[in-house]
A and B are shown apart, each in its own frame.
Chain A
């Protein structure tokens, strides 16, 4: 065992143990560590927003370089605070309308490209997919999966005849998807625990290399 003398690692280790103490039950040590984390995160975000966003993108160009065009975004930004004054509260709609309009214009075509066109293309049975037997088989399974799940979410027709088994097959594909997601979530959480234990046993206590 080769315990580190580094005070920062000690602090980090003790705070980790403080958070872990919640696993037994809620307690004051856990609450202290939690509040410390929330406070520090908020402070860090405020500082980084000021130095990384407000200062270089608004205050320096406007007040130091004297670029008056920046008055427009300043006024737009100030409109958000109009909400606090009921008489001019409607002004908040201006920046929201701008953001919604600009955001929709930027995002909608890209989403069509990313999620609809490319994904539909990926579901098509093309000749290249059958260059090997296994890729061909997966392509067919994927097509069946997509169609059956779409049928499951098609609510305009009663589930009778072929629609019923197709929708049930869709449920199986959905469950497989949920199962994979849950498995990955467990893996993720265990990874976080491993990371902390590697830190405690390695960086702090020096038991593992």
Chain B
């Protein structure tokens, strides 16, 4: 474990060095960047659609109010300045002057208010703007958000793909924003690039917007985002130079191979805000898995180190809690459940499940929702046999089948990968909050976990802007859930951005490739 940590530390240091050396160079203008995205986006408007398939092209087309650097610091974007009142109940935003949509119309505070309303009403992440009661627009350049309570996630929720500023004069025509024709065709955006062509299953082609509000940017003339679902195809295209960049690469074998290639730069930076955590989730209302002792025994029996070494080849950082290890709120002091088969056996004995004559105690099933999760699910079968649990691996024909089984609580255990989405309020609370036990909704609290103190801690941490206080609250929260273990976190998905060494300023902010690529250039 320590060695893995060291390797991560060294690679971070190297990455920092590389970053400073590239920064010294003068960026060049022009050129076409060919990069890959992994799925055809449902459409290109992140205001009403979550997910990085929409987010990667969407953040080029639409600017947000703020952007974040690699150290979680908010930076001005469409908002030139912003100010949170002392009581945390109002946020005043001054927009940058002279910003225009791709059709030439000015971007005003009206559009900001409209965008926030649209996101609040249509985006699946309801917690992002739930406390925003209304948005006042005293003049064209000022927007004042009035809140019902302090909302610490607000600044992050105003960045990247979480708040796209969309034109009111286009989307305010009374049509349903979720199925608006301008989501896919003739997109009128506010970001650094405008849409040339979106061809499903093939590509999204973007072109520099000449009147972009940031002086001298973007550097690139064009971005071609090719839609390539197959990871081997992408790896080969990166090696041959056909692709210059690809984000969200997560196949450990490919990562290790591409790292050896001198013409490529492979970085794990840029995923702290997306915050993907892989875990083994338990149905806490399941016949056997309702007993915390059973869940703890399973955690003691699963060898995180084996998974990280043999299956992830050291490409993935260990995750001990549902909060991503890259988050400032991560607490590494929680019970880690390091491999201890004897303890696991003792816990099961205590729970009243004695071994039968064949050495087995009881049977459980483990699900997985998509092929990348299969090896981890398969690993559980021989591993948990060691403590007398007969595991059946259950495959699902497709993602919706799995999502339905899990969200209707028809499971014992499942491998899962859930994103933090910046602030715990947006992406972590949903997993543990007892009022988010929602039948039929995947990535809600499908574990059906409920603990009044945990609910209370999350509520308090979600209603104060005091970072230190929040850290304390989240620490207590992580201690409790690590003890009661509705889910057993294993690792943070090994997402990597692979880019050609000819690409300058490869995205390394906390939002990675789901952020504007206006500073990326070709050497």
- Chain A bound to chain B: no
Q: List A residues at the B interface (Cβ < 8 Å).
A: none
